[in-house]
Amino acid sequence: MKMKNYDAVLAGKRIQKARNAKGYTQEALAEMIDMNTKNVSRLENGTMGLSVFTLISLCNSLDVSADYILFGITEGNEKNTAMLLLSKLPEDKQVQAEKVLEAFVKAFES
């Protein structure tokens, strides 16, 4: 079985992208995962590695999978960036936004 390549810098960018999609500051995320802000910055820059505990905390706090953070895999991950962005909207607006997204996807399928 071939092992997927892990890139700490890309993982950090995905952490930052998920954090921004949730509307969290580095300070807020640091508090959620019991880490100082400087280390969250290091994670996002790819200059600090992830412990299993930190990875689990990030996944729970950002509503993303470990596969997404580590390898950028979003297949089977119901809570990808689009879903995170939609989750910020009130429920009635989510339905409208989903219809717009469906139309957008159909337009590109042709």
CATH 1.10.260.40 fits 8-109, yes or no: yes
pLDDT of residue 22: 92
* DSSP H or E segment with residue 65: none
- Highest-scoring range by mean pLDDT, 2-16, 41-55, 80-94: 41-55
Could you read off the pLDDT of 50-94 as tens digits, one per residue? Answer: 999 999 999 999 999 999 999 888 765 555 667 777 777 887 888
Burial class of residue 86 in the structure, from the number of CB atoms within 10 Å of its CB (0-12 exposed, 13-18 middle, 19+ buried): middle
Q: Which of the pair, 3 or 70, is modelled with greater confidence?
A: 70
User: What is the value of pTM for the model shown?
Assistant: 0.69
User: How far apart are alpha carbons 98 and 82 in whole angstroms?
Assistant: 10
- Amino acid identity for residue 58 in this structure: L
Which two tokens mark 91?
Answer: 């429920």
Q: Which residue has the tokens 């939609």?
A: 86
The domains of the chain are located at 8-109
